[in-house]
Amino acid sequence: MTSPIRIAVVGHTNAGKTSLLRTLTRRVTFGEVSQRPGTTRHVESVDLEVNGQPAVRFFDTPGLEDAVALREHLAGLDAAAQATPPERIRRFLQGPEAHGVFEQEAKVLRAMLDIDAAFLVIDVREPVLPKFRDEIELLNSCARPVLPVLNFVRDAASREPAWKELLSAYGLHVQVRFDAAAPFVGAEHDLYNDLATLLRDRRDVLRDVVDALDAEAVARRQSACTRIGDLLVDAAAIRRTVPAAEFADATRRQTLIAGVQKDVFDKAQRCTDDLLALYGFRQDDADEAPLPIIEGRWTLDFFNPEAMKDAGLRLGKGAVIGAAVGVVADLAVAGLSLGAGAALGGAIGGAVSQGWGPLGRKLANKLRDMHELTVEDSVLFTLAAWQLQLAQALERRGHAAVERIRTEAPSAEDDDTLMRAAAGAVRAVQPARSHPEWESTGALTRSFWRPAPQREALAATLSNELQRAFDA
């Protein structure tokens, strides 16, 4: 078996080394990310696997804290002995200072002598100070290929041109722009492709890494769209039959409506949690990487009147969508439609669009003086739009990000591809309204629940439509 490529991730304190590794390995739990200087105190390793085997082994190293003093110390080590720079580094590592005043720097240099290459992570918001020149010279003394990774390049305080000039002055002409909080499209490809120019004998392995990353991205997107499609089928299938006399009581009616709303919220939050897990994020990252979609997830109001109004305008732009209850809705309350009988024309229209089964059930309910509660199309649209926006945000989010995810309620003025996809999904999911047995109930039940083949086919259709929108 080919041994993994060994990469040391080095740089000044708080340059974003651990953050970069979290993003490259998609492991939000790796290491500790903090604004405190010197958070990483020991060398830690993490593997990037391809086909179940470690292809790249990263070493997260402590920050270089006193490179200026160490350079002066090294300059006084047997200057007349004509030692090469790596020999001088090894001599230093055998001395008492490597276990004393320069202990942190020694950990970095010891790792540098035992790797194939290094990523030099640079916070380009920092001014180019003399200490950084000493750090570059120390790393170059280890005689290993060094690839500078320019971090936080999107920040308004970026000093990228000055850093590029400094790096080129020390022979580091190959540089990668990479924002660990919000990676550029294709940034990982650039990172590994540029690394291949430094490690020509490991090109095949690095090409496999790039191919594997592409395949993983496609698989994540497919899984995200499948999960969102399943949520829409689940929500559209909700149907609660209520005796008319019971619904006439205002207190009881509000309790019934609140119960269905909570069911919708619970289904949406399970989908949100699943998407976060799919993209490698945790539900409780408030201390290290706060995600407001988590902190405020119980307050995302899919039944908000303004959101429903915008959704109605959005849906009106597209093809006609069937009535929310399948025949007609003679009363709508807070995003839930109450079907209580229908005019003959409406009943026939519902029968033509959805088959005679729903019509027969509805007419029977009318004769028994029963009502049916279902979720309106505007709520389904808002559900779809929010989850699509979340998935899109997670695709663009690095695991070092600490800023808030901005997932806003869809606006009627927006007309992007994902919003059109949400409207199309609402149209496509209408058959689920005729099948209340397609609704799953709770996470525990879902573990043992076996969906009908027709339900799976509809969810697959929705997934394909949503994925086409993402690909576009």
Query: CB neighbours of 12 closer than 8 A, spacing ≥ 6?
Result: 63, 64, 122, 123, 126, 131, 132, 135
Write b or e for each residue in 55-79: b if 16 or more Cβ atoms lie within 10 A of its Cβ, otherwise e: bbbbbbbbbbbbbbebbebbeeeee
Query: CB neighbours of 67 closer than 8 A, spacing ≥ 6?
Result: 105, 131, 134, 135, 138
Answer whether 465's CB lies under 8 Å from 424's CB.
yes
Q: What angle do CA 292, 298, 299 make, to 5 degrees?
A: 80
For the chain, the 3-state helix, strand and coil shares in percent, each to the nearest 5, are 55, 10, 35
CA distance 16 to 137: 20
DSSP secondary structure, 102-115, as one string = THHHHHHHHHHTTS
Rg of the chain over Cα atoms, rounded to whole angstroms, equals 29
Give the residue ranges of the chain where pLDDT is below 70. Answer: 1, 28-41, 78-81, 180-186, 282-369, 398-415, 442-449
The DSSP output letter for 183 is P
Can you tell me which residue has the tokens 């976060």? 276
CATH architecture of the domain 5-198 equals: 3-Layer(aba) Sandwich (3.40)
Angle between helices 417-428 and 453-471 (to 10 degrees): 170
Reported as a single tens digit per residue, the pLDDT across 264-313 is: 888 988 888 888 888 877 665 433 444 444 444 434 555 655 555 555 55
Domain ranges in the chain are 5-198, 218-471
Reported as a single tens digit per residue, the pLDDT across 152-176 is: 888 889 999 999 999 999 999 989 8
Phi first, then psi: give them for residue 49, nearest 5 degrees.
-100, 145
The 3-class secondary structure across 252-305, one letter per residue, is: HHHHHHHHHHHHHHHHHHHHHHHHHHHCCCCCCCCCCCCCHHHHCHHHCCCCCH
